[in-house]
Structures are given as C-alpha cells and as structure tokens.
C-alpha cells in the first residue's frame, strides 16, 4: 500500500513496485495528487486506487505500507495548515494502527525539514534540528517531527517494524507545475519566457535529488535488514545556490528570461545538504543522476505538459 500514491513521488513508487511484480493499493485523497499521474496504471490488474483521507481510519489487508501522504510544497502545505498537521500526525497514527493490527512493516516519508534552518552543515541524521514551532512552515516541519516520534514509539511500545526516511528536495517528471517549488517554478518560467523569481539574494542553497534515485533509495530502505529503522537521509549531496540553479535552467532551456529578486519567505532555510554515509553503508545506495541530466529530463516533461495546455 502506498499512501499519497497519486502524488509526485508516490506515482513513481507505485509504478516501480508494479514493475517489480507487486500488487499495489494506492490510497490518496487527491488533494495535491492528480489522477493523470496514475492514469497509465489504472489498466494494470495489479493496481488499485482508493480515494481516502488518511486522517480517517482505514481497514484494509496489505503486506507493507509506504506512508507518503502529505502535501510537500510550501504553498500546498500552507493552504490548510491545520489539515497538514492532521495528515502527518493523525494520519501516522491511523497508518501505524493499521500496521500494528496486521503486524507488517511501515515506511515513513519524513523530510530534511525536520532539521529546520540548520545550524549544523551539512546535516547528519544525528543533528536534532532548528525548527520554529510557531512559523508558517511549522505545520509541516513539526507535523513530520511528531510523525517520526510516533513511528519510534510504536516501534518501542508495540515492536512494530519501522523505516524512517528523511527525504531531501527531490525533483523530476510529474512535479506539479503550480506547486511553487523552485525547480518547477524556474523551469515553467524559463519555458514561458517569464521572469525567473529568485527569493532573497539567491545565495541560499539546496541539494536536489532526481526522483529515480529517491525511489531506489526508498525501496532499498523498505527491504533493509529487519532491525534497521533509520532515520536515514536520502538526498543528493551536490549543493547549489538558487542563482546557480536558475542559470543552469536558463542554459538547458536556452531561454532569455530575466532574473528578478523578490522577498525571502519567512523561516526559509539558508542552506541544506545531506550527509549520506548511513545510506551508503546500510542500503548500499547513492544517487546516480547529476543535476544537469536530471534537469534535462524534467525540462522535457514540462515542455510536453505545457504543449498540452
């Protein structure tokens, strides 16, 4: 079962699990997910879609759970912040309750946002984070932190097999064109010849992981040794400023869009880069796709999408 299975990462995960010969139950309330992401899977006899909100209990029979349901981009998770926290916290309780009843393992899509605006750079899993409890990102960051706590308490209290994955910024085909995230914004702006919107001075950094690398890491984590719980960082250690990203996208698209500078949103982290030693040793995983080639594929996806409109 994949919750959030019709979203960006979830749809890639469903597809790969099906290709590996699994039966997949995709559970999604279609808040940010799109049916078009899974349209090509609907005819597969091993695929089933269930429209359901995980803040409500769910009684199904499955073998393992990937819990990805949660809006991931700031404009989406800030649209209804109370629902965002409910999805992370009540949603986690329901999915953990389901896993406990069935005695099955469960993976949580956590996030590098648990590190907040980090004072330690780059970030190892042992770093405890610097997160605002009151700011506009807190509904997401604190919701995800509480979900991690619930996972570890179900593990200790009920002996549940858990896998906690801290995902760093991931990009690729099937990103939502209006999700406001930097990769989708810059590519869409470049392709349309609109101004590229840099927030702040553009010197803040992120590490961008291509979606295929992320999904490979996720499946490896689910299949890792029984007593390996994580949390484990999954991301690409290449670190780029937003100015560097904008220039790379201009180069790939051949666009003549101009850069404009807008205010930096509240609590926007200044830097982020994963240490991935744990993923290397435990999962024998490291990213294979560099930013330029991943962006070329992503630009091709957005070109096709914009041509359809």
What residues act catalytically? 140
Our finding on whether 109 is near ligand NAD (CB under 6 A) is yes
Our finding on whether 123 is near ligand NAD (CB under 6 A) is no
Given its phi and psi angles, is residue 180 left (phi above 0), alpha (psi -120 to 50 degrees) or beta? left
Residues 195-224 that bind ligand NAD (CB under 6 A): none
Q: Which x/- pattern, by CB under 6 A, does the window 35-64 give for ligand NAD?
A: ------------------xxx---------
How many distinct helices (H) and strands (E) make up the chain? 10, 13
From the list 124-132, 167-175, 242-250, 270-278, the region that binds ligand NAD by CB under 6 A is: 167-175
Closest residue by Cα to residue 166 from 117, 138, 127: 127
Our finding on whether 94 is near ligand UDP (CB under 6 A) is yes
Longest dimension (CA), the chain: 58
- Give the Cα separation of 206 and 234 in Å (integer): 13
Three-state SS at 191: helix
Q: How far is the CB of 137 from ligand NAD (least distance, A)?
A: 12
CB-CB contact of 139 with 81 (8 Å): yes
Measured from the CB atom, is 68 or 289 closer to ligand NAD? Answer: 68
CB-CB contact of 242 with 206 (8 Å): yes
Our finding on whether 248 is near ligand UDP (CB under 6 A) is no
- Give the Cα separation of 278 and 161 in Å (integer): 19
Q: Which x/- pattern, by CB under 6 A, does the window 164-203 give for ligand UDP?
A: -----x-----------xx--x-----------xxx----
How many residues bind ligand NAD, per CB under 6 A?
A: 29
Burial 183-193 (b: 16+ CB within 10 A, else e): bbbbbbbbbee
Our finding on whether 68 is near ligand NAD (CB under 6 A) is yes
Counted residue by residue, the chain has a size of 309
List residues near ligand NAD by CB under 6 A.
Answer: 3-4, 6-10, 28-33, 53-55, 68-72, 76, 87, 91, 109, 111, 167, 169-170
List residues near ligand UDP by CB under 6 A.
Answer: 57-59, 73-74, 93-94, 97-98, 100-101, 169, 181-182, 185, 197-199, 204, 206, 242, 264-265, 268
């Amino acid at each position: 079962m994949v919750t959030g299975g019709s979203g960006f990462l979830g749809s890639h995960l469903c597809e790969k699990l099906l290709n590996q010969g699994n039966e997949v139950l995709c559970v999604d309330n279609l808040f940010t997910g799109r049916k078009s992401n899974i349209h090509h899977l609907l005819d597969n006899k091993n695929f089933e879609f269930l429209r359901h909100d995980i803040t409500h209990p769910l009684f199904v029979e499955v073998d393992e759970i990937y819990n990805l349901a949660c809006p991931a981009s700031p404009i989406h998770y800030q649209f209804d912040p109370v629902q965002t926290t409910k999805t992370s916290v009540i949603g986690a309780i329901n999915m953990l309750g389901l896993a406990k009843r069935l005695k099955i393992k469960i993976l949580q899509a956590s996030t590098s946002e648990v590190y907040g605006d980090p004072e330690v750079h780059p970030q190892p899993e042992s770093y405890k984070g610097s997160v605002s409890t009151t700011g506009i990102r807190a509904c997401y960051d604190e919701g995800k932190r509480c979900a991690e706590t619930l996972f570890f308490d179900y593990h200790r209290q009920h002996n549940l097999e858990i896998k906690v994955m801290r995902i760093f910024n991931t990009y690729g085909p099937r990103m939502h064109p209006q999700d406001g995230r930097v990769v989708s914004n810059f590519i869409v702006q470049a392709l349309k010849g609109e101004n590229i919107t840099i927030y702040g001075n553009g010197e803040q950094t992120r590490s961008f992981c291509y979606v295929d690398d992320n999904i490979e890491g996720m499946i490896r984590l689910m299949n890792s040794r029984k007593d390996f719980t994580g949390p484990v960082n999954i991301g690409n250690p290449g670190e780029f400023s937003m100015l560097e990203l904008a220039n790379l996208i201009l180069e790939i698209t051949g666009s003549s869009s101009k850069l404009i500078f807008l205010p930096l949103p509240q609590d926007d982290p200044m830097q982020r880069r994963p240490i991935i030693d744990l993923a290397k040793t435990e999962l024998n995983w490291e990213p294979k796709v560099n930013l330029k080639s991943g962006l070329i594929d992503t630009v091709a996806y957005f070109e096709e999408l914009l041509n359809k409109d």
